[in-house]
Amino acid sequence: MVNNIGLTKDAGWQFGIRRTVPENVETLWEAFFSDKGLGCWAKGVDQNFSTFKEYSHIRTKWKHKDFEESAHLQVRFIPSKNKDKTTISVHVDNLKNDGQREVTKKYWTIVMENLCLLTAP
């Protein structure tokens, strides 16, 4: 049996990544939606969000420049218990195949590295 990492039963292929940043959720959220922040992550993102819950999460569609169709994108901001750190969680599903999953993985890994630098001193 082949283990197809990222293949779901009903939603095609998926990819997820998380990073914890030493900032409170409000500071990170504001940086994420600043002009500089949007420049890091919003390429190919439909900014007519289907869900927009301030300081919590967004849901929308995302289309990589090399894809013909859009995938579903969810970004969550998860504060730590003592609120001095925040985890950014990105989840993309409805990808068509493993190739799209690999492209998505590379793209969002770079995005997350850049986002972590937004609030660095």
pLDDT per residue as tens digits for the range 36-54: 999 989 988 988 899 999 9
| Domain housing 81 | 13-118
pLDDT of residue 60: 95
Render pLDDT for 76-104 as a digit per residue (tens, 0 to 9). Answer: 999 999 889 999 999 999 999 999 999 99
Closest CA to 119 of 84, 73, 89: 84
Q: 120 or 1: whose pLDDT is higher?
A: 120
% of the chain exceeding 70 in pLDDT: 97
Query: Of 19 and 7, which is predicted with more confidence?
Result: 19
Indicate whether 48 belongs to any domain.
Answer: yes
Residue 98 is assigned to a structural domain of this protein: yes
- The pLDDT of 17-44, averaged and rounded, is 93
- Give the pLDDT score at 9: 78
Rounded to an integer, what distance in angstroms lies between the CA atom of residue 28 and that of residue 120?
11
Distance CA 44, CA 78 (A): 24
- In this prediction the pTM is 0.90
DSSP H or E segment with residue 26: helix 25-32
Say how far apart CA 55 and CA 109 lie, in whole Å: 22
Asked if residue 46 is part of any domain, the answer here is yes
pLDDT at 118: 80
Q: What is the pLDDT of residue 2?
A: 58
pLDDT number for residue 3: 65
Q: Domain total for the chain?
A: 1
CATH number for the domain that contains residue 29: 3.30.530.20
User: What is the 8-class DSSP label of residue 85?
Assistant: -
Count of CB atoms situated within 10 Å of the CB of 56: 14
Residue with tokens 């969810």: 74
Is 62 part of a structural domain of the chain? yes
